[in-house]
Chains A and B, each alone.
Chain A
Amino acid sequence: MAAAYKPVIWVRSKLVYDLALLAGIFLYIFLYLQVATAYQDITNPIDGLILRMRAFGSCAFILLSMILCIGPLARLDRRFLPLLYNRRHFGVITFMVAVVHASYVMSWYFAFSPVDSYVALLSINTDYGQVLGFPFEVFGILALLILAILATTSHDFWLSFLTAPVWKALHMLLYVAYVFVVLHVALGPLQSDKSALFIVVVGALVLTVSALHFWTARREGKIEAIGLALKRADGMVIAGRISDIKEERAIIVPVPDGERVAIFRYGGKLSAILNACQHQNGPLGEGRIIDGCVTCPWHGYQYDPATGRSPPPFTEKVNTFNLKLEGDTILLDPTPNPPGTRVEPVIIPSESAEPSADLKEARA
Chain B
Amino acid sequence: MKRPARTFHRRFWLVAGLALPLVFLGLMAMKQTKPVETPAVQLEAPDGSSL
| Closest Cβ–Cβ distance, residue B33 to chain A (whole Å) | 10
Chain A residues closer than 8 Å to B20, beta-carbon distance: 179, 182, 206, 209-210
Residue A168 at the chain B interface, CB threshold 8 Å: yes
Cβ-neighbour of A220 out of B6, B25, B27 (below 8 A): B6
Cβ-neighbour of B28 out of A199, A211, A258 (below 8 A): A199
Residue B36 at the chain A interface, CB threshold 8 Å: no
Cβ-neighbour of B2 out of A132, A218, A259 (below 8 A): A259
Is there an interface contact between B17 and A211, defined as CB atoms closer than 8 Å? Answer: yes
Check A210/B21 contact, CB under 8 A, given A169-B4, A259-B2, A281-B5. yes
Which chain A residue shows the least CB distance to B3?
A: A165
Is there an interface contact between B5 and A175, defined as CB atoms closer than 8 Å? Answer: no
- Enumerate A158-175 residues with CB–CB distance to B below 8 Å: 165, 168-169, 171-172, 175
Chain B residues closer than 8 Å to A12, beta-carbon distance: none
Residue A191 at the chain B interface, CB threshold 8 Å: yes
Total interface residues on B, CB under 8 Å, equals 28
Most buried by B among A172, A187, A257: A172
Tell me the complex Cα distance, A187–B7, Å.
30
Is there an interface contact between B17 and A169, defined as CB atoms closer than 8 Å? Answer: no
Residue A216 at the chain B interface, CB threshold 8 Å: yes
Is there an interface contact between B30 and A214, defined as CB atoms closer than 8 Å? Answer: no
Residue A190 at the chain B interface, CB threshold 8 Å: yes
Total interface residues on A, CB under 8 Å, equals 37
Is there an interface contact between A207 and B21, defined as CB atoms closer than 8 Å? Answer: yes
Chain B residues closer than 8 Å to A216, beta-carbon distance: 9, 13
Tell me the complex Cα distance, A191–B30, Å.
9
Is there an interface contact between B34 and A203, defined as CB atoms closer than 8 Å? Answer: no
Is there an interface contact between B13 and A214, defined as CB atoms closer than 8 Å? Answer: yes
Is there an interface contact between A214 and B18, defined as CB atoms closer than 8 Å? Answer: yes
Is there an interface contact between A131 and B2, defined as CB atoms closer than 8 Å? Answer: no
Is there an interface contact between B5 and A172, defined as CB atoms closer than 8 Å? Answer: yes
Tell me the complex Cα distance, A257–B3, Å.
10
Check A132/B14 contact, CB under 8 A, given A165-B5, A259-B1. no
Is there an interface contact between B5 and A186, defined as CB atoms closer than 8 Å? Answer: no
| Closest Cβ–Cβ distance, residue B31 to chain A (whole Å) | 6
Tell me the complex Cα distance, A220–B5, Å.
12
Check A172/B1 contact, CB under 8 A, given A190-B31, A210-B16, A213-B16. no
Tell me the complex Cα distance, A152–B21, Å.
30
Is there an interface contact between B9 and A172, defined as CB atoms closer than 8 Å? Answer: yes
Chain A residues closer than 8 Å to B30, beta-carbon distance: 131-132
A sample of 15 cross-chain residue pairs with beta-carbon separation below 8 angstroms, ordered by A number, consists of A169-B5, A183-B23, A190-B31, A194-B34, A202-B24, A203-B25, A207-B21, A210-B16, A213-B9, A214-B13, A217-B12, A217-B14, A217-B17, A257-B2, A281-B3
